[in-house]
Amino acid sequence: MTASSPIFAVDAASLDRAATILLAGEVCAFPTETVYGLGADATCEAAVLRIYALKGRPRHNPLIVHVPDVASAQQISTSWPAIADRLAQRFWPGPLSMVLPRAACIPALVSAGLPTVAIRVPAHPVALELLRVSGRPLAAPSANRSESVSPTTAEHVLRSLPNVPMILDGGPCRLGIESTVIDLTQTPPRLLRPGALPLRALLEEIPDLQLPGWVKEA
């Protein structure tokens, strides 16, 4: 890549640079096992606004917050039911986002005004390292213009978001499908979005999982 390209190979220096950008309230694209995410400090409203602006994402579409471990997940939610522990133990790091009550450190803008927050631990060494180096939970929808195809390579990201300040290049994403989203704020839990985590595996843990009609019939 040329000197002016925002695409960086992953090493200690580029991870530091990415963390500096994030801590300054800017956005940075990074690989996860599902798709490339456009990350911003989830505790900083101005940074989260940059995600919506750069993607052209409508403000009513909530973001998923990425954290490195269960302890960090517990810091951004106000309750952590036993089922969250079981699911985290079996499926994290991995493509499962859990919706839980949102802690005050996460601005309402992250969740499009909802009192909840979707949280996951991604199964990608670069994403996990960036989370550790930045020390912040990262709100990260797919790193593309709203309504276009989710990117699975750094080049896809650049094509869709030519003004992105930085892209960490971790090679092609393994799964290429968004995370499965479940709501744990109700009993029994409810499937909100089918995704990369097979429904069969989820049903083994939550046999009474509420499914939307269009999933049941599929």
* Cα(47)–Cα(28) distance, integer angstroms: 10
Q: How far is the CB of 2 from ligand AMP (least distance, A)?
A: 30
Task: Kindly tell me which residue out of 10, 15, 84, 118 binds ligand AMP, with binding defined by CB under 6 A.
Answer: 118
Q: How many helices (H) and strands (E) does the chain have?
A: 8, 10
Tell whether residue 48 is a contact of ligand AMP (CB under 6 A): no
Tokens of 98: 């859990």
Number of residues lying near ligand AMP (CB under 6 A) = 16
Q: For Mg ion, which residue has the nearest CB?
A: 142
Tell whether residue 34 is a contact of Mg ion (CB under 5 A): no
* Cα(20)–Cα(133) distance, integer angstroms: 9
Query: Which 119-158 residues touch Mg ion, going by CB under 5 A?
Result: 142, 150
Task: Compute CA distances 77 → 30, 81, 133, 184, whole Å.
Answer: 24, 10, 21, 11
* Cα(198)–Cα(217) distance, integer angstroms: 16
Residue 43 binds: one of ligand AMP, Mg ion, none (C-beta under 5 to 8 A by kind): none
Nearest to 65 by CA among 12, 20, 114, 7: 114
Angle 125-134/12-23 helices, nearest 10 degrees?
50
* Cα(139)–Cα(74) distance, integer angstroms: 15
Query: Which 167-196 residues touch ligand AMP, going by CB under 6 A?
Result: 178, 181, 192-193
Residue 111 binds: one of ligand AMP, Mg ion, none (C-beta under 5 to 8 A by kind): ligand AMP
Task: Kindly tell me which residue out of 31, 95, 141, 194 binds ligand AMP, with binding defined by CB under 6 A.
Answer: 141
14 vs 182, beta carbon nearer ligand AMP: 182
Task: Kindly tell me which residue out of 24, 53, 59, 61 binds ligand AMP, with binding defined by CB under 6 A.
Answer: 61
Residues that bind Mg ion (CB under 5 A): 142, 150
Chain positions contacting ligand AMP, by CB under 6 A? 61-64, 99, 111, 114, 116-118, 141-142, 178, 181, 192-193
